[in-house]
Structure 1
């Protein structure tokens, strides 16, 4: 075949063997496309890997150039193409069906991390107030959306007005921002922090530090958990990918 799928389908092996020597970015009427030895990269659904930002396209090409150790015959996996994954989501999942992705993101609002507080230990209670309250207030001031909080074990129901307001916010975002949120929000467990990241109010590191307040405090009180720390590091990489994607997407504007 002349075109290359970004990620293997479910029946394909976890890794693939690199068959190209060089990558390049080509300016086309529809945007900037990534090519491998002159051949376009195609996503699993058949779309060409083409974006509106040259800076992003160059970064995508860089991923493909580094994949498999940078030489023909090397093995690469989807995890080597982290920005390509987000671009693929933007092109093949969000562009044709924004409503489905928005619905998934709204599900996180119904269980918003910042709205679930503890009653003890006192140190964590205080830190949640100090670090989480300002972002709920930011949401109110920025988007006129008020979310309810609880310190009990039962779920808190957010008002229809709040959910409608968040839906309106999401509907107003471009496809690229929704693609970034699709990666950042599950990692953070927070739509509010994801929106602050997209809005440029938080860096990836700041958003992750806020989202992992509970875990960091528990490890401070009871000792380090290597498995937990490794998991948080992996989630942090997702948030950094989302932030990098956004920065590159808007670098040319």
Structure 2
């Protein structure tokens, strides 16, 4: 792989906010995806674990670190994403690679900060805020979310409250501390910690709930069930008013990210 091709691989996965969509709009065209520059992808042993190889050469993350994980099955899944690319490389079809890049570049050196960011969601967690009406929505929320509060209480030792209407709810400090402890225990130590934490952070931000994310990470529910309980409100509205095609497509893309995060959590298991 040439140095130019290596730059293409890195540039594909620069976070969207670091690109310049306004410039593309001024130019009147979307940036063209780069052509595939390799014939084969594989897995090779590398320092720290296993690396994705393109035509026998390692791939770099956007921060120019080697795309390496301590899990052979995960690295094989990454290589499969690269192998599945067509004539042009489309990062939207490579959710595992994007998530692993974020773990390597954004989490490895910020474990405590990222863990704290996940845990703070408990203070305004999706499952703690309920609708007063309509009655059907309130009942659907209770059916989906009460078990998650029970999970927090019984598995995490966190007695989190719920409220309805627009009133802000301050959670007990001891409950917040219990969630923070559970997040850190799940992340664990060692080479797998950044990957577990990156997966947990992604699931938290996608669902708006660290309880849903922890339930998936700790094997209480699968990604499909978690996605359903995270979208109780949206599904209720769609049944009442119909679905918007763009919103449905956006949700489908986000679900691919959710499934990728759940796969990484499954690859690394529970560190606690």
Report the Cα distance in structure 1 between the residues aligned to 2:48 and 2:215, rounded to whole angstroms. Answer: 30
Residue 61 (str. 1) matches residue 61 (str. 2): no
Residue 101 (str. 1) matches residue 124 (str. 2): no
Equivalent pair of 1:6/1:42 in contact (CA under 8 Å): no
Report the Cα distance in structure 2 between the residues aligned to 1:131 and 1:40, rounded to whole angstroms. Answer: 44
Equivalent pair of 1:105/1:182 in contact (CA under 8 Å): yes
Deviation at residue 223 of structure 1 after TM alignment: 3.2
Report the Cα distance in structure 1 between the residues aligned to 2:233 and 2:13, rounded to whole angstroms. Answer: 36
Cross-structure match for 1:208: 227
Residue 17 (str. 1) matches residue 22 (str. 2): no
Residue 38 (str. 1) matches residue 56 (str. 2): yes
Deviation at residue 14 of structure 1 after TM alignment: 6.3
Question: Which residue of 186, 189, 202 corresponds with 2:205?
Answer: 186
Deviates more, 1:45-54 or 1:223-232: 223-232
Alpha-carbon displacement from aligned partner over 1:136-167 (angstroms, at most 9, x marks no partner): 01111001001121102132122222222111
Which blocks of at least 5 consecutive residues in structure 2 are unaligned? 21-30, 188-192
Question: Which residue of 52, 56, 69 corresponds with 2:70?
Answer: 52
Cross-structure match for 1:136: 149
Alpha-carbon distance change, 130 to 51 in structure 1, aligned in 2, over 3 angstroms:
same
Report the Cα distance in structure 2 between the residues aligned to 1:227 and 1:117, rounded to whole angstroms. Answer: 26
| SS, match of residue 43 in structure 2 | strand
Alignment length, in residue pairs? Answer: 245
Alpha-carbon distance change, 157 to 123 in structure 1, aligned in 2, over 3 angstroms:
same
Alpha-carbon distance change, 64 to 96 in structure 1, aligned in 2, over 3 angstroms:
same
Deviation at residue 8 of structure 1 after TM alignment: 4.5
Deviation at residue 50 of structure 1 after TM alignment: 0.9
| SS, match of residue 148 in structure 1 | coil
Cross-structure match for 1:170: 183
Report the Cα distance in structure 2 between the residues aligned to 1:141 and 1:6, rounded to whole angstroms. Answer: 45
Deviation at residue 49 of structure 1 after TM alignment: 0.8
Cross-structure match for 1:239: 258
4+ runs deviating over 6 angstroms: none
Which blocks of at least 5 consecutive residues in structure 1 are unaligned? none
Give TM-score, length-normalised by structure 2.
0.83
Residue 7 (str. 1) matches residue 12 (str. 2): yes
| SS, match of residue 24 in structure 1 | strand
Deviation at residue 29 of structure 1 after TM alignment: 4.7
Alpha-carbon distance change, 79 to 230 in structure 1, aligned in 2, over 3 angstroms:
closer
Equivalent pair of 2:217/2:266 in contact (CA under 8 Å): no
User: Superposed, which structure 2 residues align to 1:212-227 within 5 Å?
Assistant: 212-227=231-246
RMSD of Structure 2 on Structure 1 (CA): 2.0
Cross-structure match for 2:26: none
Equivalent pair of 2:200/2:265 in contact (CA under 8 Å): no
Alpha-carbon displacement from aligned partner over 1:180-234 (angstroms, at most 9, x marks no partner): 1122111111110000000111111100111111111222233334343333322
Alpha-carbon distance change, 137 to 59 in structure 1, aligned in 2, over 3 angstroms:
same
Deviation at residue 30 of structure 1 after TM alignment: 2.2
